[in-house]
Amino acid sequence: MRDFVMKRHAAAPQYTVRPYNPVVVGGMGLDDIAPPAKVQVPALMRGYLRLGAKVLGEPAHDPDFGVADFMALLNKNEADVRYLKRLRSVGAASEIGAATVSSESE
């Protein structure tokens, strides 16, 4: 996934960061592991990338959750406004639905 994301969504070189705790799988670094045939980007990260976030470099290993975390940066002046409006409308609809369910149960 790293190569896929970095190829399409890398930030400018001056924003590159390096992890203190790099990802290691089975004793091998990411460069030593064959990439998967099909890349699956997690939904939350897909959303950030769709908004226009840029990935700042290699992922860091988060041992508390057993995952790799990418540092990302989103310039609010360059965010995808259409997608942001869609997210806001979905959020508002969810709040209305939750309020309706709450008032019906009282």
Task: Look at residues 32, 30, 43, 44 and name the one whose alpha carbon lies nearest to residue 1.
Answer: 30
> Encoding tokens for residue 2?
């790293």
pLDDT, residue 102, reads 45
> Encoding tokens for residue 90?
């979905």
For 68, phi and psi rounded to 5 degrees?
Answer: -105, 130
pTM, two decimals, is 0.75
User: pLDDT tens across 10-64, in order?
Assistant: 999 999 999 999 999 899 999 999 888 999 999 999 999 999 999 999 999 999 9
> Encoding tokens for residue 68?
């790799």
∠5-52-79 over CA atoms, to 5°? 175
